[in-house]
Amino acid sequence: MSDDRLALLDLLWPLPDGVGPDVAALSPSTWHVIDHCARQHRLRPLLHARAKQCEDWSAPADITRKWQAVHRRSALRALAQRAELQRIGGLFAQAGLHATLLKGGAIVGTGTIDPALRPLRDLDLLLAEDDLGPAHRLLLAAGYTGVQADFDREAKHLPLLTSPAGVHVELHGRLIDTPQTGRAQAEARWRRAAMARSRALTTSPVAPTSPTDTLLHIVLHGVLDHRFNNGPLLLVDIACLTTRTAIDWDLFWTEADALDARRACRLALHLAARRGLGGAIVWPHAPESPPSARVLRQAETMMLIDLDRISELGWAGQIASSARGNRLARFMAMLGRGFRRSLPDGPARAASRWAVIGRIAATYRHASSWRHLTDSLSVSRWLAGP
């Protein structure tokens, strides 16, 4: 990965030691690389807000105009999503259904950030498994578009639905991926507890997760489910929750330990703290060594993955981070799971499978791919522990 992409983080959140790019000296080509990365990771609205505060930024006018336009569109999209959430709440109330609002939607719902600065791809709603089918059919009957589907217990959510207003919604049956049986049992217990804590906050048929559960969820989703490839908005979310809400840190670490996720949480929180975004973090009582500066920097580069190549790089990274003797089995399981969800059995599935295999194999020809895999392996080793 080029240093031009890494400069994006330094522009938004300079390191406390002052080390970073000379903003006035950045070339137009560097600004275009930064803008491309920001577009991929939904950071243009934040760049617009930051540029208004920094007079020494030399970004070309065509780029700053893009940021301003994207910020405006983001604000309008947030209004549409808020209206759709209210509509869903009304539909669910009539049907006696309850849902829990997850991730970015839960954070925006706390009022801790301007919704325009935290773009949401979709609204993520968690329901009890028995309610997923009725909720899915209810939204389809209300004019949503999407495919009829039953919940696949190997998946986290049903296929995407789109409202008549163009708002995307995902109905979730689980909070995180759980390839290990022990973690599946722990996830089910945490999911039920999180939904109960959510309902204790409000009588609304669509209630956000509590700040503590939201923090744990966005960390596990970003670090374990996606290996940081869902981008630097993770840092924004951590900052909002740890600086502007009350986190029950004893509960947070207890739940993290039950999910065998303490190191994932420590890594994410140290990343935020490195950029001055960590708020008043209360660390576990047992003394533990923090991640090295090298591991933190590698995790940051993983956040800025080129989304045009995310499928190949993401799969290659997950395969490479598996135990040496388990890599082929892991690859075949991932391949089979992906195609069961998207294609019926037959020639089309077989042809697409070979196309994906070819794209993944091709990643190994690029030097940037090897750097990504090196970073992924290093971070995976740290997450696995001593």
Q: Which domain holds residue 321?
A: 307-384
| Co-location of 217 and 168 in the same domain | yes
Specify the residue for token string 């966005």. Answer: 218
Question: Sign of the C-alpha dihedral, residues 76, 142, 94, 153?
Answer: negative
Tell me the per-residue pLDDT of 7-65, one tens digit each, with 9 for 90 and over.
999 999 998 876 667 888 899 999 999 999 999 999 999 999 999 998 889 899 999 99
> What's the number of domains the chain is made of?
2
| Co-location of 184 and 333 in the same domain | no
Domain boundary among 299, 331, 359: 299
| Co-location of 217 and 360 in the same domain | no
Domain boundary among 299, 322, 352: 299
| Co-location of 135 and 276 in the same domain | yes
CATH code (residue 276)? 3.30.460.40
Task: Kindly list the distances between the CA atom of residue 149 and the CA atoms of 124, 130, 157, 168, 211, in Å, as whole numbers in the listed order.
Answer: 17, 14, 10, 16, 31
**Beta carbons of 139 and 88 less than 8 angstroms apart:** yes
Tell me the per-residue pLDDT of 144-173, one tens digit each, with 9 for 90 and over.
999 887 767 667 899 999 999 999 999 999
The 3-state DSSP class for residue 125 equals: strand
3-state secondary structure 27-58: CHHHHHHHHHHHHHCCCHHHHHHHHHHCCCCC
| Co-location of 227 and 106 in the same domain | yes
Distance CA 248, CA 41 (A): 29
Instruction: Establish how many alpha carbons lie within 13 A of residue 204's alpha carbon, considering only the half-sphere containing its beta carbon.
Output: 16
Of 235 and 335, the one with more pLDDT: 235
What tokens does 130 get?
């028995």
Tell me the per-residue pLDDT of 99-137, one tens digit each, with 9 for 90 and over.
999 999 999 988 999 999 999 999 999 999 999 999 999
